[in-house]
Amino acid sequence: MFPAVALLSLSFFAIAYGQQVGTLTAESHPKLSVQQCTSKNNCQTQQRSIVLDSNWRWLHSTSGSNNCYTGNTWDTSLCPDPTTCAKNCALDGADYAGTYGITTSGNALSLKFVTHGQYSTNIGSRVYLLDASDAKYQQFNLKNQEFTFDIDMSKLPCGLNGALYFVEMDADGGSSRFTANKAGAKYGTGYCDTQCPHDIKFINGEASLLSPTFTAFFDPNAGSGQYGSCCNEMDIWEANSMGAAVTPHVCSVQSQTRCSGNDCGDGDNRYGGICDKDGCDFNSWRMGDQTFLGPGKTVNTNTKFTVVTQFLTSNNQTSGTLSEIRRLYVQNGKVIANSKTAVAGMSAYDSITDAFCNAQKTAFGDTNSFEKLGGLQAMGASFDKGMTLVMSIWDDHDAKMLWLDSDYPLDKDASQPGVSRGPCAQSSGEPTDVESQSPDATVVFSNIKYGPIGSTY
């Protein structure tokens, strides 16, 4: 996630649950199979499931069906203060397909952008992979491993983001550290990322009711609270049909951490918080190859392809420090090497190393908060703790996704190094436009595999 806290936007007029568990709709996690490989062509299928993030769920009174939260506002009688609110409000089960446009089939997960349900219009979604228990997030350590999936984003236009990434959420959603959280991972609680999002309704077992101390951007479907929820984040894939980025981001803290004030790094204090909001991104277009990935290009986004990401360590073992993140693609049976950087002042890098990150920040004149907060070694330390797999589809109320697919920031000349990131128009990505013009936009993630380097493709 590059700039914003708005990972989600949704409008809800009917149902919602707090940190208690509601029972008006049974929670039944859609099944998704993944594969763990031990060597090439030697993979075992694992039956797993996914869970919808709690923020999207109907939050209502434990005693009935009164909304605790509507649009972007809390009900002041059910929620007079953060702890009472957590006691009074329950998160309910989800109708994944009918309300949220989330469906699975075998090893494929499909996320549809806008869904008109019986009571509500839902915008975007975010889901997590659960482990065999169906009640905890599966934990990944990808050091000296590779992670592979197929992507179909042919129906994902400018302004949208079909994202697959890892964050250092608690495996139980935080329910053992914060006992007021009764819902746990089974209801998708405990989200965090390096943007330290302020739109999370419950953080550390309390409702995030208090007003922010900074000026939040307006989203009719998501409010902002005083606190943010921060943690390390490894963005394997942030993309639409016009471009893609792979981006490690790190924080000075381990585990999900609630921030307030300066620690959140809001507004003008972007580089003063505990997390590296920019990260160290490899976006082929931004790194100088505008012919590499897109409709009809070398990696052709008009059809499905395979994305392989390798996490190499200093000693080629899990015990080593993370030293390099490599990317390759497979399409129509052909392995496609990553593009090479073609930027004045930089060597021809085709992977993410600390040397690449430092050279890129210098060439683009960007602040190097990635290095300051620990660089790849810190990203690897987060994998050692265990990271949770996230898949989402979202639009961007803060920065219109221009940081991914257009020119960004707009107050710089687009011919300056690093400003042009993709071919989309500077006027694209306005949420009201994409929501009205592309409601059927869909991303399909499938065929997830993980295992030792070279085992998954």
Ligand X SMILES: *[C@@H]1O[C@H](CO)[C@@H](O)[C@H](O)[C@H]1NC(C)=O
Size of the residue set binding ligand X (CB under 6 A): 2
Q: How far is the CB of 379 from ligand X (least distance, A)?
A: 19
Q: How far is residue 11 CA from its own chain's centroid?
A: 20
Q: What is the CA radius of gyration of the chain?
A: 20
Site residues for ligand X, 299-318, by CB under 6 A, read 315-316
Q: x/- contact string, 25-64, with ligand X (CB under 6 A)?
A: ----------------------------------------
Distance CA 393, CA 146 (A): 23
Amino acid of residue 258: R
319 in contact with ligand X (CB under 6 A): no
Between the alpha carbon of residue 65 and those of residues 69, 85, 187, the distances in Å are 11, 15, 18
Q: Give the residue with the Cβ less far from ligand X, 211 or 316.
A: 316
Q: How far is the CB of 315 from ligand X (least distance, A)?
A: 5
Between the alpha carbon of residue 236 and those of residues 27, 209, 239, 283, the distances in Å are 29, 32, 10, 11
Q: How far is the CB of 306 from ligand X (least distance, A)?
A: 22
Give the contacts of 373 (CB within 8 A, at least 6 positions apart): 250, 251, 252, 274, 275, 276
Q: Give the residue with the Cβ less far from ligand X, 61 or 313.
A: 313
Which one of 27, 146, 206, 238 is the catalytic residue?
A: 238
Residue 135 burial by CB count (10 A; 0-12/13-18/19+): exposed, middle or buried?
A: middle
Q: Which helix (H) or strand (E) is 359 found in, with range?
A: helix 354-364
Is the separation of the CB atoms in 250 and 322 below 8 Å? no
Q: How far is the CB of 316 from ligand X (least distance, A)?
A: 4
Print burial letters for 115-132: b (CB count within 10 Å at least 16), e (below 16): bebeebbbbbbbbbbbbe
Q: Give the residue with the Cβ less far from ligand X, 105 or 315.
A: 315
Between strands 160-167 and 387-395, the pairing is: antiparallel
Q: Give the residue with the Cβ less far from ligand X, 310 or 447.
A: 310
Q: How many CB atoms lie within 10 A of CB 43?
A: 17
Q: Which DSSP string corresponds to 260-273? A: -GGGG--GGGTTSS
Q: How far is the CB of 387 from ligand X (least distance, A)?
A: 23
Q: How far is the CB of 454 from ligand X (least distance, A)?
A: 10
Q: Give the residue with the Cβ less far from ligand X, 316 or 377.
A: 316
Q: Give the residue with the Cβ less far from ligand X, 239 or 308.
A: 308
Q: φ, ψ for residue 207 (rounded to 5)?
A: -70, 140
Q: x/- contact string, 157-176, with ligand X (CB under 6 A)?
A: --------------------
Q: Is 168 a catalytic residue?
A: no
Q: How far is the CB of 314 from ligand X (least distance, A)?
A: 7
Q: Which DSSP string corresponds to 316-356? A: SSTTSPEEEEEEEEEETTEEEEPP----TT-----EE-HHH
Which one of 233, 371, 430, 435 is the catalytic residue?
A: 233
Q: x/- contact string, 243-282, with ligand X (CB under 6 A)?
A: ----------------------------------------
Q: What is the DSSP letter of 275?
A: B
Q: Is 371 a catalytic residue?
A: no
Binding residues for ligand X, rule: CB under 6 A, are 315-316
Residues belonging to the active site: 233, 238
